Amino acid sequence: MALYIVPTPIGNLTDITYRAVEVLSDCDIIYAEDTRISKKLLDHYSIVTRIESFHKYNEHRKLKSIIKKLELKNKIAIISDAGTPGISDPGFLIVRESVKNGFDVICLPGPTALIPAIIQSGFPTDRFVFEGFLPLRKGRKKRLESLANESRTIVLYESPHRILKSLKQFTEFFGGNRKISVVRELTKKFENQFRGSINDAIKFYEKNKPKGEFVICISFLKVD
Ligand code: SAM
């Protein structure tokens, strides 16, 4: 039996694949980051599969019992609150453990915030580096130093509370005239995008209070 990693919508409920609905309906147990959040999606698609919690505070503890269920030939699906499990969400540990124990891992293609963000940025997509959330304190400066001369497009996840502070800090490492793209609320009603220099992004978000979910792409190029 395989472990299925199933991406779920990042805002728009219709962004789920037919196959994802099929796998979630067919499997024996769905492990979800927040069962209340996922219940809404599952109800929307009339999926009645048993659901259990699997989040960053219990994932270590649950690994053994999930492996046991795979040994008993259960078909297991992992989902997170939004997007692809394992991408800045729980997923990696159970995938590693399943591989170690000889089970197939099948990750369905589907929603994730980083891919639309980088495609919409207009920056080169042939090579890019995904950094997820930067460390909040320890190791943050070192990480930014290591990215300062990166020639690939950099993709970062950021929270609305920290984005302005981060943009100001980025000027120290990338310079204020580096090209940046910031997408907000992808696939949702108030989706929008900022493109310009880091300095302009700071001015923009000083005027427009950051709200919602953000992905930042930083180009190697500077604004002329
Ligand atoms: N697993 C998810 C994925 O595949 O993209 C990421 C989960 S991570 C906990 C949440 C972060 O992803 C947010 O803080 C934001 O940076 C980004 N994100 C998720 N949904 C988004 C959306 N609709 N618009 C913009 N960014 C989003």
**Residue 79 beta carbon below 6 angstroms from any ligand 1 atom:** no
Q: What is the mean pLDDT of residues 49-77?
A: 97
Asked if residue 112 has pLDDT above 90, the reply is yes
Q: Which residues contact 146 (CB under 8 A, 6 or more apart)?
A: none
**Residue 90 beta carbon below 6 angstroms from any ligand 1 atom:** no
Three-state secondary-structure class, residue 85: coil
Contact 80, 89 (CB under 8 A): yes
Asked if residue 220 has pLDDT above 90, the reply is yes
Measured in residues, the chain has a length of 224
Closest among 103, 113, 14 to 63, alpha carbons compared: 103
Closest among 67, 77, 73 to 47, alpha carbons compared: 77
**Residue 8 beta carbon below 6 angstroms from any ligand 1 atom:** no
Three-state secondary-structure class, residue 110: coil
Q: Fold for 114-218, please state it.
A: 3.30.950
For the chain, percent of residues with pLDDT exceeding 70: 100
Contact 1, 70 (CB under 8 A): yes
**CA–CA gap between residue 4 and residue 161 (Å, rounded):** 33
Q: How far is the CA of 113 from the centre of ligand 1 (A)?
A: 5
Q: What is the mean pLDDT of residues 86-109?
A: 98
What pLDDT was estimated at residue 224?
Answer: 81
What average pLDDT does the structure give for the chain?
97
Which superfamily does 2-107 belong to?
A: Tetrapyrrole methylase, N-terminal domain (3.40.1010.10)
Contact 20, 8 (CB under 8 A): yes
Asked if residue 71 has pLDDT above 90, the reply is yes
DSSP per-residue string spanning 43-57: HHTT---EEEE--TT
Question: Are domains 2-107 and 114-218 of this chain identical in fold?
Answer: no
Q: Where are the domains of the chain?
A: 2-107, 114-218
Contact 107, 207 (CB under 8 A): no
**Ligand 1 pocket check: which of 5, 8, 10, 191 to mutate, most ligand atoms within 8 Å of Cβ?**
10
Asked if residue 190 has pLDDT above 90, the reply is yes
Q: How many CA atoms lie within 13 A of 108 on its CB side?
A: 23
Q: How far is the CA of 82 from the centre of ligand 1 (A)?
A: 7
Asked if residue 1 has pLDDT above 90, the reply is no
pLDDT digit string, tens, across residues 26-46: 999 999 999 999 999 999 999
**CA–CA gap between residue 222 and residue 224 (Å, rounded):** 6
Phi, psi (5° rounding) for residue 5? -100, 120
